[in-house]
A = this chain, B = another copy of it.
Amino acid sequence: MLGVIGGMGPLATADFFRKLIDATPAATDEEHIPVLIHSVPQVPSRPGAILRGGASPLPALLAARDRLLAAGATLLAMPCNTAHHWYAGLVDGCPVPFVHIVDAVAERLPAGARDIAVVATRATLQSRVFEARLADRGIRLAVPDDATYDRAVQPAIDAVKRGATREGGRLLEPAIAALLDEGAAVVVLACTELPIALDSIESTLRDRCVDSTDALARACVRAWMSR
């Protein structure tokens, strides 16, 4: 059973679930992957912990992990980029494989691409979740400037978290276009709220982006099939 540490946010977890189903080669119910989804959003703020020294979410994440393991999970994933700041703590003593979202994204990058833009929470960028995991690939990572971040990226994330997905898409799309104009080969949507925003307005820029939620779903299907 695939165990999903979710709820960060709930809509992103639901989006992951849908993309997992869509990515599974199945013609009947029974051919789908058995999944247990722990969508409990009452987790201390990840940005609060990384940026402002707030309470660590790690104990809550470990509790979710252990609940999933106790229920029989044999593979784990967590559809939240920022929470991967605590990945090392989560795999410590974990008896089953745990798919890393950045590894999943790396598999979806175009071969040979050197200039990649990453759109994420400020906490994900500051904790260098992507840089650390992609360091040996010789990739240059561009990120939105502070003004764009404040005007477009964070407001888009906040909009999705309150259910205003189309508003999020309209806020985000120009920031994606600017990163592509500045030379990015692709833009990684490295916060699981962001694909929901662009999907909801059926943005034509989706084809130029790597969706971290979809990438994680596909990596989970591969990991499940090859277990």
**Which A residues lie at the B interface, using CB under 8 A?**
1, 7-11, 13-14, 17-18, 21-22, 26-32, 34-42, 67, 70-72, 161-163
Task: Give Cα distance in the complex from A34 to B64, angstroms.
Answer: 11
Task: Give Cα distance in the complex from A1 to B40, angstroms.
Answer: 8
| Nearest chain B residue, comparing its CB with the CB of A10 | B32
Q: What are 13 A-B pairs at a CB distance below 8 A?
A: A7-B29, A10-B21, A10-B32, A11-B18, A11-B21, A14-B14, A29-B41, A30-B42, A34-B42, A36-B38, A36-B67, A37-B37, A37-B39
With contacts A11-B21, A70-B71, A71-B70 known, is A39 near B34, CB below 8 A? yes
A11 to chain B minimum Cβ distance, whole angstroms, is 5
B70 in contact with A28 (CB, 8 Å)? no
Hey, which chain B residues are within 8 Å of A28, CB to CB?
161-162
Q: Which of B1, B17, B34, B161 contacts A29 (CB 8 A)?
A: B161
Hey, which chain B residues are within 8 Å of A17, CB to CB?
13-14, 17, 37, 39
Between A10, A11, A29, A31, the greatest number of chain B beta carbons within 10 A of the residue's beta carbon is seen for A29
A36 in contact with B34 (CB, 8 Å)? no
Task: Give Cα distance in the complex from A9 to B42, angstroms.
Answer: 28
Hey, which chain B residues are within 8 Å of A37, CB to CB?
17, 35-37, 39
A104 to chain B minimum Cβ distance, whole angstroms, is 19
The 5 closest A-B pairs by CB, nearest first: A9-B29, A29-B41, A37-B37, A34-B40, A10-B32
